[in-house]
Amino acid sequence: ATRDESQQVNAELAEQDAADLYKAGEGRWGTEELAFNVVLAKRSYSQLRATFQAYEKVCGKDIEESIRSETSGDLEKAYLTIVSCAKDCPGYFATLLHKSMKGGGTDEETLIRILVTRSESDLPAIKEKFQQMYKESLAEAVRSDTSGDFRKLLLALLH
């Protein structure tokens, strides 16, 4: 599946997709995953946001609530991740970064994966969202949770 990367939103398509998602999930016994797969995997994030708004009007509940009631396991987690990224991608990654550093240990793999893969795209937006959400800079969090050459590398990625 190739996701549409355009920022343009087609309101009619959003309404049609919302109706299709409703018919495939809440509007029937059982769930027709193919409809969810097509919409969630192929539509741009801008288009998905419009679809989620239309879905709430059609169904009377948000898409996450429907996904939780209609799916489970890895599929539920995958759908909810797509929805979370579509709604607020920087917020999604800021949350993952925070989780990777809170508590007793550090999830180094998550830290590295996000900082490396997002460094040339939306890392500035993630840093800004992290600051808003957790009232400290991402660099401060990394500085207090890591050490040595690993810390130096991560801080270099952040600047």
Given 39, 71, 103, which residue is the final one in a domain?
A: 71
Boundaries of domain holding 40: 1-71
Same domain (yes/no): 108, 145: yes
* pLDDT, mean of residues 140-150: 96
- What's the whole-model pTM score? 0.84
At 1, is the pLDDT very low, low, confident or very high (cuts 50, 70, 90)? low
- 82 lies in a domain? no
Measure the CA–CA gap between 64 and 18, rounded to whole angstroms: 13
pLDDT, greater one: 31 or 101: 101
Model pLDDT for residues 36-51, shown as the tens digit of each residue: 999 999 999 999 999 9
Q: Provide the domain count of the chain.
A: 2
The closest of 136, 95, 132, 86 to 114, measured between CA atoms, is 95
> Is residue 64 pLDDT above 70, yes or no?
yes
Percent of the chain past pLDDT 90, that is, above it, reads 82
- 100 lies in a domain? yes
- 76 lies in a domain? no
Same domain (yes/no): 47, 11: yes
Same domain (yes/no): 103, 155: yes
CATH of residue 138 = 1.10.220.10
- 43 lies in a domain? yes
Measure the CA–CA gap between 114 and 109, rounded to whole angstroms: 9
- Spatial neighbors of 46 by CB under 8 A, at least 6 apart, are 6, 7, 8, 9
Same domain (yes/no): 114, 60: no
Given 71, 100, 126, which residue is the final one in a domain?
A: 71
Same domain (yes/no): 60, 14: yes
- 80 lies in a domain? no
